[in-house]
Structures are given as structure tokens and as C-alpha cells.
Amino acid sequence: MKRPVRSRKLFERARQILPGGVDSPVRAFQAVGGVPHFIRRASGATIEDVDGNRFIDYVMSWGPLLHGHAPRGLVRAVAAAARLGTSFGAPTALELDLGERVRALMPSMERIRFVSSGTEATMSAVRVARACTRRDKIVKFAGCYHGHGDGFLVKAGSGATTLGVPTSPGVPAPVAADTLLARYNDIRSVEALFEAHPGTIAAVVVEPIAGNMGVVAPADGFLQGLRALATRHGALLIFDEVISGFRASAGGAQGIFGVTPDLTCLGKIIGGGFPVGAYGGRADIMDLVAPAGPVYQAGTLSGNPVAMTAGLWALARLAPALYRDLARRGAMLALGLAQAARAEGVRLQVNAFGSVLTPFFTDVPVRDYDSALTANTGAYATFFHGMLARGVYAPPSQFEAWFLSAAHTDRHVQQTIRAARGAMKEVARVI
């Protein structure tokens, strides 16, 4: 790998104009050390930085690039849409086409409102839930991240954990007081909250497959238990499928586990990687949203034609064969990482679900936030830089998911496993 000379100079400039030199915290490499690589282009499963280094990419814009970077068909479709206008601030038929496509894949979303990000979707869904139930409190799970809305920044996962700021300054105490914390995969902890706060909980918000404390799958019966508890206590169940939606399956995590939420939040994957999100659910609940109802939410770029076009292209190409191939390669990569660690005596747990995985540097099975925090972040940092030096771009944080795409081939995975064998030797020398 060439030294990141140009990246270093750009980062020096960036720190003079952007807080911490980045527009999203985890990009700054604070958790792993070193200088972030500035990317200038990408294609398929690879990215290239400004110094000319090429990497096999497992960040994939943090998940939405299910079909890889800049697939030709998507680029052509978006270019054609942009020539007709990038944003109108008025309705288009494209919004209806994509909305109907999403509803066909996720029937629980009887009504849908497009927004511009996953954060906007989750914030809006909670507002609707509070209006519907006329209650204020929400239940979230330690280590789950639902965007940077005030009420969610209480033991949030991924970037917040990476930076050691599990509760952000600037969040008013009364707002934080309305967020109740439960343990992921621990249904009893949720029961206890309903017992302690009778008649005051508006919604339970959950990542049905956790991806922001690293990948953690739901235990048998966990999601079903949440559905039963929410129904029994008159609360809504909100699935944050910003990561799992259309990546876990064409019907999202809810399609795999057979649990129907009242509201669902989706993110960039429904826009083919463009800035877009959506929330939706039962018609009677969503009809509370303005202008149909009194719950106000608006956005100038919501449903813009470029993002809608990209989403239509991406969702039209979801097929059983795609998910079979992704799952097979995900399992191949997970096994290869585990074997590379075992060969060097490195303690590693690899959590994988289809095309997403996280290698945790711990010997403790990871099933919730507390067990995720047993991971050796120093070992991960060594591993990360070892992989980077060998041409593999992994997430610059122990607590993030790795993502495969349709553009990743068996050869890419085999190259990654070979790189991991070398990187694990470096980890073994420092732990």
C-alpha cells in the first residue's frame, strides 16, 4: 500500500473546516488510529483512494450498496432522471411506483412516507407513535442505534460507542428521561419496564437484527415476545430496518422472522445508496401524518426523482438467487476469519447473518451490548490496519457491521481471507 500522503494533506485541510475533519464521526479513524483515506472513486466491490490505493470494500456506504458501487444500469437510470430535473418540490409518479414496490415487498407498510435519511425516518416514526398512543415514553435497547435524534442518544451503538460517548451532551435531561433502556435479546428486561411504567410507554423501538453494536441476531422468540408485549400493553412495535430492510431478505427481517411491526423505518437501501429513507405501517396509524392528520412532518427533498429512480432500479433486482449467493459468501468469509484467528491463537467471535457480519475480538459469545463491549478494540485496530495494508477496507470500528454485495466474488472473499491470515499474525504479536 502506498503511503496516504494526499489523504493526510486533505485531512489536515478538513480539520480546518469540518468538525474533526469529517461529516460523520466513525470516518475519522479515531477508534483505530491513523489517517482516514479519502476516496476518489469506486466500482463494483472496490474503492480507490486519492493516493491510488485500491481496496476490496466491506463498508459499502454502510450497507445500502447491495448491488455494489456504481452499477452501470443504476448510473444510466439516474443520469436519465437527472436530465429531467433533480428536484421539483412537487409530487411525481416515481414516488408512487417506489411506494407500491416497497409495500409489495413489506406488506406491513400499508402507508409510506418518504424522507431523506434513516434518522429522519426513526424520529418521525416515534412522533407518530406518541401521537397514536398519547403516551411519551419509548423503550430502546442498549447498543442499538436509531440515528442521532435526541431521544435515541442514550447508550447508542456504533459511532457513539466507538467514540466513547454513549450519551451525547446537548440532549436535555427530560428528553433522555422518556427513553427507557432494555437489554437486547432479554425479553424479561422489557417486561420489567412495562411493569414499572404502566400505561406510559408509546413504543418499543428495535433493530430486528442488530447492526450497530456489531451484528447480533435476535434470539429465538425475542421478536415474537416484543410483539406480544407491545400488543398486551397498548404500545406500538417499531422495527428499525434501516440496515436489515431488503438486505436480510426481500421482505426485510420481518419477512424472515414472521413478526409484523406496527411501524417500519427504512434507509438508504431503498434509494440504491442515494440519500433517502422512509417510514410506514398500518394505514390507521400513518393517516395521522400531515396532511391526512395532525402530526406534522415535511421535507423539501423527500421523494426526489433521482433517489426514487435509483430505488426502483435497485429493488427491481432483488431475487432469491441474489440472497443465496450473498449468504454463501458471507458464511465463507465468516468461516475464513474464524479459522485465521484460530490458527494464530487469537480469540475471536464472528457473528454473521446473510451478507452482514462482525468479527469480535473476544472469547465471549456476543448476544447483547454488554457482551459486545468485552471485545478487544486494540486488537481490532491492529487487525484493521493489517487488512488495510493488504488491500482490504473494513469498517474503522470494532462495533460496526461488514457488508458484502452482489459485486463481491468468491475471489474477493478468498483474497480477504488470505489478508486476514497475515493480519491475525500481527494481532497475535501485540495481544
Place of cell 472469547: 363
Going by their DSSP bridges, the two strands 201-206 and 179-182 should be labelled as unpaired
Asked whether the beta carbons of 102 and 280 are under 8 A apart, the reply is yes
Give the span between the Cα atoms of 177 and 165, in whole angstroms: 17
Q: How many residues does the chain have?
A: 431
**Cβ-based neighbour number of residue 378 at 10 Å:** 15
**Looking at residue 392, what DSSP letter applies?**
E
Can you tell me the distance from the alpha carbon of 309 to that of 227, in angstroms, rounded to the nearest whole number? 34
Q: Are 126 and 298 in contact (CB under 8 A)?
A: no
Q: Which of 345, 363, 344, 336 is nearest to 418 (CA)?
A: 336
Catalytic residue among 57, 186, 268, 323: 268
Assess whether 145 carries a catalytic annotation: yes
Could you tell me which residues are beta bridge partners of residue 54?
A: 48
Instruction: Mark whether 240 is an active-site residue.
Output: yes
Rounded Cα distance, 389 and 55, in Å? 9
Choose, from 178, 240, 262, 368, the residue flagged as catalytic. Answer: 240
Place of cell 428495535: 206
Tell me if residue 323 is catalytic.
no
Question: 115: which DSSP letter?
Answer: E
Which positions are annotated as active-site residues? 145, 240, 268
